[in-house]
Amino acid sequence: MQNQLLNFVPEQAHAQLKALLAKDNLVVKVKQERKTKHGDYRQLPNGKHQITVNANLNTYRFLITLVHEIAHFEAFAKFGRFIKPHGKEWKLTFQHLMLPFLRPEVFPLELLPLLAKHFKNPKASSDTDTQLSLALKRFDEGEDKTFVFEVPLGQTFKLYNGRVFKKGNTRRKRIECVEVKTGKLYLFNPNAEVEILDK
């Protein structure tokens, strides 16, 4: 277990996490921010198993992401490599591994009900659970963020990759946005981080 890894998770999770990582003997690397994912798991050509997690995540999201990736390894080890990456075997494994962490010593009280709801049927990414994702983002460091659900109707905004969109109507769970350059319609999660542009 790399001791530096403990700096990225809540202190009350250290013992449980050490035991989990010692049992699985995984290589864990902390990476610079990747915009398209929080972490990943893969088997290396030498047969070892590697997990990567983004360094910029707050301690709670880091812990959830790390356990999410450990669940991939354990699900493949137990059920074989032909299971779906985020299928029922992974979901059961993720639920089982997260349960010991879901307590007020590890997570703030305001997150626990959202986590309990999320882990009834965990998704491939906690970002697709809008309520949980927004609650977790409140613990991020740095400047204030703007989310697409906060953008006024008809306002243009920019994504991290420079693409510019105009906000449209809200559907049941997603928000219609038109890419200014192409005129194509895209559906956004309400918690997508954006930069508002002057008209």
Say if residue 133 is in the same domain as residue 165.
no
Backbone φ, ψ for residue 35 (5° rounding):
-70, -25
Say if residue 133 is in the same domain as residue 155.
no
What pLDDT score does 68 carry?
95
Say if residue 126 is in the same domain as residue 163.
no
Which of 137, 164, 179 marks a domain boundary?
137
| pTM of the predicted model as reported, rounded to 2 decimal places | 0.77
Whether 65 has a pLDDT exceeding 90, the answer reads yes
Look-up of token digits 């350059």: 181
pLDDT band of 142, cuts 50, 70, 90: low
- The tokens for 23 are 């049992």
Number of independent structural domains in the chain:
2
Say if residue 58 is in the same domain as residue 99.
yes
Burial of 1 per CB tally in 10 Å (0-12, 13-18, 19+):
middle
Question: Using a CB cutoff of 8 Å and minimum separation of 24, what contacts does 110-118 make?
Answer: 110/135, 111/60, 111/135, 111/136
Say if residue 73 is in the same domain as residue 118.
yes
Which of 90, 106, 137 marks a domain boundary?
137
- Distances 197 to 60, 144, 153, 154, 156 between C-alpha atoms, Å: 31, 16, 13, 11, 6
Whether 160 has a pLDDT exceeding 90, the answer reads no
What pLDDT score does 74 carry?
93
Which of 109, 137, 165 marks a domain boundary?
137
What pLDDT score does 191 carry?
81
Q: Is 161 helix (H, G, I), strand (E, B) or coil?
A: coil
Say if residue 187 is in the same domain as residue 122.
no
Determine how β-strand 193-196 pairs with β-strand 27-31. Answer: unpaired
Say if residue 40 is in the same domain as residue 114.
yes
Q: What is the pLDDT of residues 10-32, one digit of tens each?
A: 999 998 998 888 877 788 899 88
Say if residue 165 is in the same domain as residue 70.
no
State which residues form the domain around 153. 146-196
pLDDT band of 2, cuts 50, 70, 90: low
